Structure 1
Amino acid sequence: MSVKRIPEGQVYTLRRMGHSAPRLLQPGTHWIWPVLEHVTHRISLVGRSLELDGEGQDALHGTVYWQVLEPERADAVIERAEAFIREQAQLAAPQLAVLDSDAARNAALKDRLNATLTQHGLFVTRARLRERA
């Protein structure tokens, strides 16, 4: 057996050989079987920011602040979470273009992203789009 220490603000997903469902290791000290089990993801529970710099007429430019709320669900998408958030934001761009105020655009983007991301264990805490030129 081996000792694995998980720092505060993180969880690790551990997969056991022959099992498909991951096991979550919360912050603290844990015993694992090195040959049978391996850490698949180190998931930070601390908020992150993502810059949006799309291309095209309706592209969004700004910052989205997001975090992992449910690591069990996020494990499946964590490796491509930023690309997924960018993709969903760009899909929302045409609907946001008709809104007049920046505050309305920010709130609408946050709501639209959360409608999709919460089912994957992710949550947008704030969206701040840059002013339109």
Structure 2
Amino acid sequence: MTTFLLATIACLAVTASVVKRVPEGQVYSLYRGGRLLRLLQPGLHVVLPGLQRIGHRIDLSGQVLHFQEALKCAHDVRGTVYWQVLEPERADAVIDQVEQLIRSGALDALEAEPAVAKENRRDLGSRLKQRLNAALRERGMMVTRVELEVA
């Protein structure tokens, strides 16, 4: 009886490691031999352990990045950038660095701007969004909104 129980548990463990469930609103990248094989859409999928591995779990819903930095012009800037993945196959290569890309792009754009008046925050946010989108669109991502506070 114990042999049957151990065999059943082993069979269940193997099945659990082979079958992957991708939740709604996400995409998983499947790698084989270090190369992207395909993207797994929401649902159940069979993944061969040892041969294939899940690389990234990409959330397709909106993401939020908060930042607070002191600029060279002696202004403290706090902001929130709302972004999302539009093309997961393109975004997969840089998804681990996307927050750093957005943060550095926002700071570079803010440093290039002249002194920021409080009444021009909306215009500055719009220009910042356009500059970020110019860099992110080719990578399959888009900034949907930028909110800034300048102290």
TM-score by length of 2: 0.79
Q: Determine what percentage of the aligned residue pairs are the same residue.
A: 47
Deviation digits for residues 32-69 of structure 1 (CA, Å, limit 9, x no counterpart): 21121000111111111111212333464211001111
Q: Equivalents in 2 of 1:34, 1:111: separation in Å?
A: 43
Alignment of 1:1-16 (within 5 A): 2-16=18-32
* Conservation of the 8 A alpha-carbon contact between 2:22 and 2:42: yes
More helix by percentage: 2
Alignment correspondent of 2:128: 109
The runs of 5 or more residues in structure 1 that have no matched partner are none
1:95 equivalent in alignment to 2:109: no
The correspondence for 2:57, drawn from 3, 26, 42, is: 42
Partners of 2:101 and 2:41 lie apart in 1 by 25
Count residues with an aligned counterpart.
131
Amino acid at match of 1:95: A
Q: Distance in 1 between matches of 2:137 and 2:77?
A: 21
Deviations 1:90-111, CA, capped at 9 Å, x for gaps: 1101333356511110100000
* Structure 1 vs Structure 2 CA RMSD: 1.8
Equivalent AA in structure 2 for residue 9 of structure 1:
G
CA deviation vs aligned residue, 1:72-106 (integer Å, no higher than 9, x gap): 11111111110110001111013333565111101
Q: Give the TM-score of the pair, scaled to structure 1.
A: 0.89
Structure 1 segments, 4+ long, off by >6 Å, are none
